[in-house]
Amino acid sequence: MPSPSAVEFEAQRSYLTAVAYRMLGSRAEAEDAVQEAWLRYAQQTQEIHDVRGWLTTVTARICLDQLNSARVRRTAYPGEWLPVYVVKPDADPADRAELADQISIALLVVLEKLTAEQRVAFVLHDAFGVPFDEVATVLDSTPAAARQHASRARKAVADGQVRHTAGLAEQRRVLNAFLAAAQDGDMRTLAAVLAPDVVAIGDGGGVVRTALRPVLGADKVARFFTGLLTYRLAEVTDIKVDPVVVNGSAGMMLRGTWPDGSPLLVVSVVAVADGRITGIYNQQNPDKLVLGSAF
Encode pLDDT of 205-236 as tens digits.
888 888 778 999 999 999 888 888 777 777 88
Q: Is 292 within 8 Å of 210 (Cβ atoms)?
A: no
Q: What is the DSSP letter of 233?
A: G
pLDDT at 218: 92
Whether residue 22 has pLDDT greater than 60: yes
Q: Does the pLDDT value for residue 95 go beyond 60?
A: no
pLDDT band of residue 98 (cuts 50, 70, 90) is: very low
pLDDT number for residue 3 = 58
Nearest to 248 by CA among 223, 270, 277, 279: 270
Sign of CA dihedral 270, 272, 277, 279: negative
Q: If pLDDT is split at 50, 70 and 90, which confidence band does 102 have?
A: low
- Integer Cα distance of 186 and 283 in angstroms: 25
pLDDT score for 113? 86
Give the pLDDT of residue 183.
Answer: 79
The rounded distance, in Å, linking the Cα atoms of 117 and 250 is 31
Instruction: Report whether 267 contacts 244 (CB < 8 A).
Output: yes
Give the pLDDT score at 157.
Answer: 87
> Who has greater pLDDT, 161 or 272?
272
Band of residue 91 on the pLDDT scale cut at 50, 70, 90? low
pLDDT of residue 4 exceeding 60, the answer is no
Phi, psi torsion values for 212, nearest 5 degrees: -80, -15
Q: Are 134 and 143 in contact (CB under 8 A)?
A: no
Using the predicted structure, report yes or no on whether residue 149 has a pLDDT greater than 90.
yes
Query: End-to-end CA distance of the chain, in Å?
Result: 36
Could you read off the pLDDT of 104-139 as tens digits, one per residue? 888 888 898 899 999 999 999 999 999 999 999 999
Of 61, 160, 159, give the one whose Cα is nearest residue 116.
61
pLDDT confidence band for 147 (50 / 70 / 90): very high
The rounded distance, in Å, linking the Cα atoms of 37 and 10 is 12
Give the CA dihedral 170, 175, 181, 183, nearest 10 degrees: -150
Higher pLDDT, 131 or 179: 131
pLDDT digits (tens, 9 = 90+) for 190-203: 888 999 999 999 99
Q: Is the dihedral of CA 77, 78, 83, 84 positive or negative?
A: negative
Which has the higher per-residue pLDDT, 201 or 189?
201
Read off the pLDDT band of 1 (50, 70, 90): very low
Pair 68, 227: CB distance under 8 Å: no
Q: Please give the Cα distance from 269 to 273 (Å, whole number).
A: 14
**Mean pLDDT, the chain, integer:** 87
